[in-house]
Amino acid sequence: MQNTKTIEHKGFIESIENGLIRVSILAQSACASCHAKGACSMSDMQDKTIDIYENAENYKVGESVNVILDQKLGFKALFLGYILPFIILMLSLIILTITTENEALSGLISLGLLVPYYFVLYTQKEKFKKSFSFRIEKLD
């Protein structure tokens, strides 16, 4: 048994076709699970569908399962989706403001640099599907 930390969500199997298992989970913000969640709105919760490529012989539609992702892959997704774009934005904003001395132009160019960044991420989504693999296990 490996000693890696994981991120887990409870969900249920929506569909199974050709080795692809679609699992629906209820994603909650941190405040939605606290003791004062009655004061929060329902916008803190949303259904998400996750595609899992696994042997589907042992599972059936409607079954409750645990969706598991290694924590290190969660941090990788956080870095690629939020931290690296923020670094690109801030560095380009600082450098362009110093060199052009035009804050409006610097801001627009810095925001514009995020378009090709996210486009490259989008074009690489098949590669990411392979590296960000989820696992499922049956609930007792």
Per-residue pLDDT band at 34 (split at 50, 70, 90): low
pLDDT at 58: 80
| Position 42 pLDDT exceeds 60 | no
Residue 1 has a pLDDT of 44
- What mean pLDDT do residues 99-118 have? 94
Is 89 within 8 Å of 111 (Cβ atoms)?
A: yes
pLDDT digits (tens, 9 = 90+) for 71-81: 888 888 899 99
Q: Checking phi first, is residue 18 left (phi over 0); if not, alpha (psi -120 to 50) or beta?
A: left
Q: Which residues contact 137 (CB under 8 A, 6 or more apart)?
A: 65, 66, 68
Cβ neighbourhood burial of 130 (10 Å; 0-12, 13-18, 19+): exposed
Tokens linked to 66: 């645990």
Query: How many whole angstroms separate alpha carbon 51 and alpha carbon 137?
Result: 14
pLDDT at 67: 86
pTM exceeding 0.85: no
Q: Average pLDDT in the 55-79 region?
A: 84
- Contact between 114 and 89 under an 8 Å Cβ cutoff? The reply is yes
Interatomic CA distance for residues 101 and 95, integer angstroms = 10
Q: How many CA atoms lie within 13 A of 128 on its CB side?
A: 12
Q: What is the mean pLDDT of the chain?
A: 83
Give burial (CB, 10 Å; 0-12/13-18/19+) of 87.
Answer: exposed
Q: At 3, is the secondary structure helix, strand, or coil?
A: coil
DSSP state of 11: E
Question: In this predicted model, what pLDDT tens digit does every residue of 115-134 receive, in sequence order?
Answer: 999 999 999 988 887 777 78
